[in-house]
Amino acid sequence: MKAYKFINVLILISIFLVGCDDLDYKPIDQLDESMVVGDTDLLQNVTYGTYSKLKIRNYLRYCRYAKELMSDDVILVKTTGDHLMQTYNYGHTVNSNVSRLVWTIGYQAIYTANKVIDAIDENDPDPKLNQLLGENIFLRALIHHDLVRIFGRPYTNGDPSKNLGVMIRDNIDPTDLPPRSTVKECYDFIVADLLKAATLMTDPKPAIYASKEVAYALLARIYIYMADYDNAIKYADLVINSGRYELLRDNDYKKYFTFIPEENKETIFAIKLLATENQRKGSVGSMFNGFGGWGELYVSPSYRKLIYKYSNDARINFIQPHYKGNKIPDPTEDCGFKVQKRNGLSKYYNVKYTMEDGIPMLASIIRLRLAEMYLIKAEAYAKKGDDSKAIEIVDFLRQRAGLTGNQLFSNDMQGYTSTMDIVMDELRLEFAWEGHRSYDVYRNNRTMDRTYLPPDVAWHGPRIIEPTSKAIVHLIPESEIILNPNLVQNPF
């Protein structure tokens, strides 16, 4: 039976020395395979390193921006030299730092995960080793999915068996230069990894680590993206019925993003940032909030129109208007009070990336939470033609948000003629700025409407983006194509 292979010291020295403070670190010339065999602590530390790569500033920040800034939930107040601008205005380039850093750091993390996967025999009966193997397989799947979302078209947008996704890296051979797999091949690989990971993980770890339920939650998301509605419902239910999570309510819900993830009962999986890791003006939230950050990405007028429809909607608390004076009444503003402006745009910030544990600009990045499982089910039922079940779930979440009576769709359709339109708006209300919106629009083959953008400012980019547009995916970094000539560039 294979036990472990020698682990390259280059991986070890890249790991932040977190946990296992008593681990005896040795230089490369003092380590040999016999020291690695059976060393669960060493493998655990390498696994910590893979988690750590997910919170490297340039991956954390640009991965979220790549998913969020192409949506209709944001408006940029000014031009910027930061390459996030090329994502925001759909002006992708082959040398964008957004694309380059997400791609390179993502594959570095996959390589680290593969080192542990390669080192552990999946037939080993030790549950601690199986847990570590499962966590690394999960992380490999998660990062592959990040990459295929950013560089490949949605599964349901065109033919997934022909559209190109990303490289599948399932080995540690540095000479292996694979071409891009199709979107379907990528999704099949990710699903297989998640199913295997779920069988291996038995430790109900806190929300900052992978567990069986975390794998189930990502499977539910993957299956809804693939239009496999029965499996989407199945895996969402496995999470909901696990008893491990519960929806936050009342004031706790209004303060959702101020809780540390381990103490947030609704959070399924998050990338944990410590107070000592607060990236302040380099953080994800810096562009979204001016109280401690740059505050140059405002809440869009179209989102404000939707959220301020009912003043008792608890999700209004995720918006922070920059009031002008001491809340002077102003009926022309969505919030009802005068708001400071910059370049003619009202300053409405979002608070989903700041004030964790009361610290400005500190925010652990929520990757999966329980509300998404419910809305995955709602979407699946809507697409299966079971409108009543879909609306029942939507209303369940709206009641959680404080809405009642004719604010619930079971009592009043409120002008909607399509249940799927209701689900889409509820997804938007619940998950604004969390990296879902643009993908939700394009995977449903809908048009992105950003006609709220000032018509006389060209740098904002297109106002209408069709789901067939070439610009809904990022370009493969030119530097990576030079290193791997088997890669094919996205059309542009």
Q: What are the domain boundaries of the chain?
A: 1-203+447-492, 204-247+367-444, 275-363
> Do the beta carbons of residue 354 and residue 293 sit within 8 Å?
yes
Nearest partner of 390 among 404, 406, 375, judged by Cα = 375
Alpha-carbon distances of 131 from 124, 135, 175, 330, 460, rounded to whole Å: 11, 6, 29, 56, 46
Give the CA-trace dihedral at 95, 289, 310, 259, to 10 degrees: 100
Alpha-carbon distances of 251 from 306, 351, 358, 360, rounded to whole Å: 22, 15, 15, 20
Alpha-carbon distances of 133 from 260, 299, 475, rounded to whole Å: 26, 41, 32
> Do the beta carbons of residue 348 and residue 304 sit within 8 Å?
yes
Q: Please check whether the two domains, 1-203+447-492 and 204-247+367-444, share a CATH topology.
A: yes
The pLDDT of residue 456 is 85
The pLDDT of residue 38 is 59
User: What pTM was computed for the model?
Assistant: 0.93
- Answer yes or no: CATH 3.40.50.720 is held by domain 204-247+367-444: no
The pLDDT of residue 5 is 40
Nearest partner of 401 among 309, 322, 263, 327, judged by Cα = 309
| 480: Cβ contacts below 8 Å, ≥ 6 apart | 100, 103, 104, 487
> What CATH number has the domain spanning 1-203+447-492?
1.25.40.390
| 267: Cβ contacts below 8 Å, ≥ 6 apart | 207, 245, 259, 261, 366, 368, 369, 370
CA distance 191 to 195: 6
Q: What single-letter DSSP state applies at residue 202?
A: -
Q: What angle do CA 296, 348, 371 make, to 5 degrees?
A: 105
Tens digits of pLDDT across the chain (492 residues): 443 343 443 343 343 333 333 334 443 233 334 444 458 999 999 999 999 999 999 999 999 999 999 999 999 999 999 999 999 999 999 999 999 999 999 999 999 999 999 999 989 999 999 999 999 999 999 999 999 999 999 999 999 999 999 999 999 999 999 999 999 999 999 999 999 999 999 999 999 999 999 999 999 999 999 999 999 999 999 999 999 999 999 999 999 999 999 999 999 999 999 999 999 999 999 999 999 999 999 999 999 999 999 999 999 999 999 999 999 999 999 999 999 999 999 999 999 999 999 999 999 999 999 999 999 999 999 999 999 999 999 999 999 999 999 999 999 999 999 999 999 999 999 999 999 999 999 999 999 999 999 988 889 999 999 999 999 999 999 999 999 999 999 999
> Do the beta carbons of residue 349 and residue 289 sit within 8 Å?
yes
> Do the beta carbons of residue 257 and residue 363 sit within 8 Å?
yes
CA distance 191 to 403: 36
The pLDDT of residue 39 is 81
CA distance 269 to 145: 15
